[in-house]
Chain A
Amino acid sequence: MRLGSGTFAACCVVIQVLGVALFLRGFFPAPIRSSSRTEHQAEPPAPEPSAGDRSNWTKLPPPLFRKVVIMLIDGLRDDFVFGSKGVKFMPYTTYLVEKGASHSFVAEAKLPTVTMPRIKALMTGSLPGFIDVVRNLNSPALVEDNVITQAKAAGKRIIFYGDETWVKLFPKHFVEYDGTTSFFVSDYTEVDDNVTRHLDKVLKRGDWDVLILHYLGLDHIGHVSGPNSPLIGHKLREMDSVLMKIHTSLLSEERETLVPNLLVLCGDHGMSEAGGHGASSMEELNTALILISSAFERKPGDIRRPKHVQQTDLAATLAIGLGLPIPGNSVGSLLFPTVEGRPVREQLRFLHLNAVQLSKLLQENVPSYTKEPGFEQFKMSERLHGNWIRLYLEENNSEVLFNLGAKVRRQYLEALRTLSLSLSRQVAQYDIYSMLVGTVMVLEVLVLLLLSIPQALSNKAELEVPLWSPVFSLLFYLVFLVLSALHVIVCTSAESSCYFCGLSWLTAGGVMALISALLCAVVSALAKVFADGKHLRKNPAHPKARWSELDVLILLGTLGHVLSLGASSFVEEEHQTWYFLVNTLCLALCHELYKNCFLRDDGEPQPCSHVEQGLVSSEPALWDRNIHCNVSEPHRVSKSPTSLDTLRGYEKWMVLASPWVILTCCRLLRSLNQTGVQWAHRPDLGHWLTSSDHKAELSVLAALSLLVIFVLVQRRCSLTSKVAMALGLLGVYCYRAAIGNVLFPWQRDSKDISKGVIEARFVHVFVLGILFTGTKDLLKSQVIAADFTIKTVGLWEIYSGLVLLAALLFRPHNLPVLVLSLLIQTLMTKFIWKPLRHDAAEITIMHYWFCQAFFYFQGNSNNIATVDVSAGFVGLDTYMEVPAAFLTAFATFAGPVLWASHLVSFLSSETRSGSALSHACFCYALTCSFPVSAYIILVTSLRHHLFIWSVFSPKLLYEGMHVLITAAICVFFTAMDQTNTKS
């Protein structure tokens, strides 16, 4: 079957997406749960150990506190309470911490530092898997054993106000609740007022046992304006007053009932210096945790640094405090200071319960648990505990009893610490089989792409895909049978759950057939390459293809980038790699331009073939990584004498200056957003612009940027879209003014901040309108099949529609990124690619490099925290999953998408040979799939690396998303290519 190379590449990338999806499913398995989950509730609590069996305390100890209030402030970093900000803005809390009856800790959150997994960790005490980040937006109900469910089962009445996530996690658990949605990140007053307004009423009533409040405002402020914004201070003061209100009310109630209550102030995760969260910087991991109760001892003037504990420790502590069994999956250990005031026997009983639960979890998850030091310590302390009980029941000498008790306690605490540590270290198990199947698919596709380079980049841009013949060959059936047999063996023998085995037999069979068909295709392609090679060696009359410096640079750069992905710091600082490569590319282009301009005068006489520099000879498409290819193609040298001669005066100067202008632009952009890890804290222009003092500058910059965007984009559109574009850009400014990011000149202060839904929808309408006009033109060109210009206009209109959407979604300080990207595209097109007559393959790869560089110029990084979630809610009234996901994805990948669509428009507007688009599509697919495949292998081999969760996994998710987008782009390419060949 003959296929165009574009179509072929698109098919390949689509298959690759399947492979990557399968790999990701295997790499991020659902977290393993304690197997005895269902019986756990019915199971009686562990009895008190004793040397003889005289102890009769087998029931759970009674609750320590009558009422528990959990006040969770989203994004409450430790220094907001214990640092200088806390002293300044939270006086009451500081008083409680320093002089009141309280215990304060720095609770360390685990990755991912995103709200839902953190809530789960707080309530179950377990470590949720990384994939919970992705499921964060639509949280399913929590089925794991947790404190809330236990409390409900014990007949406690629970009231909840705050983030809706809780209501989704614990449906039907609360006797009363009011969920607020966390999706309007720009709103930070209403979300909290919605919580506080219930407070007075609830505190007066006595008909509840647990009250949970989740305040979102602080986190939203962090997302919008960072941790150093003045708004943070206001919010902290507000939170302080809320805490005071709750505490006084609890105290006054205690005076009547004489039973202590517990007030817990905690954060779910911290906040990075940029204001986001999701990664593993100290600021994101460390949260404040304060337990306040009159049962605790007052400690006047005790200003020690708070102790570091794990966030998961809270679940066990809460369970003990409420007199509930500890959740089965909890890996935390009891915060001992909370029970310090109790009698020694009770203390030991609590510690024993906790240790029994942890050792049980260890037994279920670690086969060789008897060798674990924690387990040995536990057995030892249990024995000592038994001795102590015997002494106690015999009413022995109190001094001996006390000393032995202290010893047992120390032993228990040590055992708990070791157990908890070794459990936390249990890495989630990988689903190796699914990963393997996915990797095989991805690799086969890559090899197929690599082997078909010579054919795909030939002038015809067509290649023979041996797809049908292998289906009937013996090899195919053999491989298929072997694979199926392997599948059956693996799936019947595997103990752990495996996603790929869970699929239906038909689907699995289909995947197996696909893999074997691909294998056959690879084999036949390989055979063909060998045959060709032999053929070539027989008649080596053809001139060897020469590589220009640019080709070498492109090849080395691509390889170097792929190799650099193996080091965690290069992954963290990937933007540096791309900036470096793009700079070098510009210098190389500069070199080439100057050589063409100046050195040709005294050089040897040029080959005369440049007279017919028409369609065919300018399309050699030489870029490739194999030696055995494109031998029969026209020589590169024949295209070098270029239209530089025809340029004169100002244009020539522009040509000479353009690389330097582009380099300057890149330098400016890179100082706009600092990303990465090592240098992310450096001050940058973006921070300067977004700080509240420079609103006027930001407004001027935004207005100017929008104007330049209009000037740069409107040239190639029809009149209707020009008008639509102008109105749309105006709407963008109105939207930003409405949500309070920028100012109108007549507007002095921004009092009335709305969500800007109307303005944003206004722009959305224009975006859709422009896209619609473009599509209409494209369809028309397909039907009429005569007018080439209509198609070009249509493509440019789609491109400008995307630009308008990006302008709407980008934060105002990022608008220069858009402007400079348009500027660089224009300069490159006019003064570099056209005069130098690069072929489609080279242009594609240059585009790809700029794609990547702009991804980071936007402020993205290989880290979940930099995803701008607020972009997903532009113009939406309520949370709608599909549009929100689409908008967020577009805003994140705007740079790559815009450059790719520019590539399509540019290549098809140049009246080149018909194969240009197919070549471009093929090269684009190849350059994208190469790093992905390499990265998958790297990640598989590095899966026990220390930074696998913090550095490599987020990058893997980004790569997966990137492949998906590449597939969409390639399909678009192919569609354009089809219309091309038709007309």
Chain B
Amino acid sequence: MKDTDIKRLLYTHLLCIFSIILSIFIPSFFLENFSILETHLTWLCICSVFVTAVNLVLYLVVKPNASSKRSSLSYKVARFLKCCIYFLMSCFFFHVIFVLYGAIIFETLQLREIPPVIYIFVFYRVTSIWENSLQITTISSFIGTWLGAFPIPLDWERPWQVWPISCTLGATFGYVAGLVISPLWIYWNRKQLTYKNN
């Protein structure tokens, strides 16, 4: 039971990583002058849309917890509303933190907090190992963002050193790392982990 779950987790994560890689290459066929650095915001949006879509599809396909009680419509609506609220709250929270770290309020109005936040939103509803992997990916993308802030003061004059880019890139790398790490971590620690639901 558990091993199959972990396997499924691994596959879904690999799909997520694949979708991120796709989001780097596919738009360049459709959009003129597309590059990660120059049209950073567009890429960010596309990336988040890809990841969200993949996650939703996977959610529908995999159905991590398909108990009868939870499948009622009102429950689903409530769940969805809850997710929205959490999403907005985390947006606000991250916004505040970014401002405290010195971003100028003006610039922050762009949707740069999306990547770390979207994962919370997408993964929130799952429990068990799914929740565990969610924790890991969130934390690692947060650490990625944190580390991404380091190269900003360097005067290498690289295009990726501009303020949001290095952070969001850091977040994306952190997210990918988290996706890879979490199944492995759960696999190593599967003896210690017990979930109430299972």
| Known contacts A580-B149, A587-B97, A569 near B155 by CB under 8 Å | yes
The answer, yes or no, to whether A573 is at the interface (CB within 8 Å) is yes
Contacting pair B100 A583 (CB below 8 A): yes
Closest residue to B152 on the A side, CB-wise?
Answer: A576
Contacting pair B154 A667 (CB below 8 A): no
The answer, yes or no, to whether B99 is at the interface (CB within 8 Å) is yes
Task: Provide 25 A-B residue pairs closer than 8 Å at the C-beta atoms, listed in order of the A residue.
Answer: A568-B155, A569-B153, A569-B154, A569-B155, A569-B156, A570-B153, A570-B154, A572-B153, A572-B155, A573-B153, A576-B102, A576-B152, A579-B102, A580-B101, A583-B100, A583-B101, A587-B97, A663-B100, A666-B100, A667-B99, A667-B102, A670-B102, A676-B153, A678-B153, A678-B155
Q: Which of B142-171 contact A (CB under 8 A)?
A: 146, 149-150, 152-156
Task: Give bound CA distance, A678 to B152, whole Å.
Answer: 11
Contacting pair A664 B100 (CB below 8 A): yes
Q: Within the complex, what minimum Cβ distance (angstroms) separates B149 from chain A?
A: 7
Contacting pair B153 A576 (CB below 8 A): yes
Contacting pair A567 B100 (CB below 8 A): no
The answer, yes or no, to whether A584 is at the interface (CB within 8 Å) is yes
Q: Give every chain B residue within 8 A of A678 (Cβ-Cβ).
A: 153, 155
Residues of A with Cβ closer than 8 Å to B?
A: 564, 567-570, 572-573, 576-577, 579-580, 583-584, 587, 663-664, 666-667, 670, 676, 678
Contacting pair A567 B154 (CB below 8 A): yes
| Leading 9 A-B pairs by shortest Cβ distance | A573-B153, A569-B155, A663-B100, A569-B154, A576-B153, A667-B100, A569-B153, A583-B101, A583-B100
Task: Give bound CA distance, A119 to B146, whole Å.
Answer: 48
Task: Give bound CA distance, A587 to B153, whole Å.
Answer: 22
Q: Give every chain A residue within 8 A of B152 (Cβ-Cβ).
A: 576
Task: Give bound CA distance, A224 to B133, whole Å.
Answer: 58
Q: Give every chain B residue within 8 A of A570 (Cβ-Cβ).
A: 153-154
Q: Give every chain B residue within 8 A of A584 (Cβ-Cβ).
A: 146
A-B contact count (CB 8 A): 34
Q: Give every chain B residue within 8 A of A580 (Cβ-Cβ).
A: 101, 149
Task: Give bound CA distance, A567 to B101, whole Å.
Answer: 21
Task: Give bound CA distance, A681 to B100, whole Å.
Answer: 21
Closest residue to A677 on the B side, CB-wise?
Answer: B155
Task: Give bound CA distance, A667 to B102, whole Å.
Answer: 7
Task: Give bound CA distance, A663 to B102, whole Å.
Answer: 11
Q: Within the complex, what minimum Cβ distance (angstroms) separates A561 from chain B?
A: 11
Q: Within the complex, what minimum Cβ distance (angstroms) separates B34 from chain A?
A: 29
Closest residue to A584 on the B side, CB-wise?
Answer: B146
Q: Give every chain A residue within 8 A of B150 (Cβ-Cβ).
A: 564
Q: Give every chain A residue within 8 A of B149 (Cβ-Cβ).
A: 580
Q: Within the complex, what minimum Cβ distance (angstroms) separates B123 from chain A?
A: 20
Query: Which one of B100, B150, B153 has the greatest number of beta carbons of chain A within 10 Å?
Result: B153
Q: Give every chain A residue within 8 A of B99 (Cβ-Cβ).
A: 667
Q: Give every chain B residue within 8 A of A567 (Cβ-Cβ).
A: 154
Q: Give every chain B residue within 8 A of A587 (Cβ-Cβ).
A: 97
Task: Give bound CA distance, A785 to B176, whole Å.
Answer: 63
- Known pairs A568-B155, A577-B153, A666-B100; list 15 more (Cβ under 8 Å): A564-B150, A567-B154, A569-B154, A569-B155, A572-B153, A579-B101, A584-B146, A663-B100, A664-B100, A667-B99, A667-B100, A670-B102, A676-B153, A678-B153, A678-B155
Q: Give every chain A residue within 8 A of B102 (Cβ-Cβ).
A: 576, 579, 667, 670
Closest residue to A666 on the B side, CB-wise?
Answer: B100
Q: Within the complex, what minimum Cβ distance (angstroms) separates B167 from chain A?
A: 12
Q: Which of B75-102 contact A (CB under 8 A)?
A: 97, 99-102
Q: Within the complex, what minimum Cβ distance (angstroms) separates A578 from chain B?
A: 12
Q: Within the complex, what minimum Cβ distance (angstroms) separates A279 from chain B?
A: 15
Task: Give bound CA distance, A567 to B155, whole Å.
Answer: 9
Q: Give every chain B residue within 8 A of A569 (Cβ-Cβ).
A: 153-156
Closest residue to A564 on the B side, CB-wise?
Answer: B150
Task: Give bound CA distance, A232 to B152, whole Å.
Answer: 35
Task: Give bound CA distance, A572 to B156, whole Å.
Answer: 13
Q: Give every chain B residue within 8 A of A583 (Cβ-Cβ).
A: 100-101
Closest residue to B97 on the A side, CB-wise?
Answer: A587
Q: Give every chain B residue within 8 A of A564 (Cβ-Cβ).
A: 150
Q: Give every chain A residue within 8 A of B156 (Cβ-Cβ).
A: 569
Q: Give every chain B residue within 8 A of A676 (Cβ-Cβ).
A: 153
Q: Within the complex, what minimum Cβ distance (angstroms) separates A583 from chain B?
A: 6
Q: Within the complex, what minimum Cβ distance (angstroms) separates B137 from chain A?
A: 18
Q: Within the complex, what minimum Cβ distance (angstroms) separates B140 from chain A?
A: 15
Task: Give bound CA distance, A587 to B100, whole Å.
Answer: 10
Q: Within the complex, what minimum Cβ distance (angstroms) separates A384 from chain B?
A: 44
Query: Which one of A569, A579, A670, A676 has the greatest number of beta carbons of chain B within 10 Å?
Result: A569
Task: Give bound CA distance, A258 to B99, whole Å.
Answer: 70
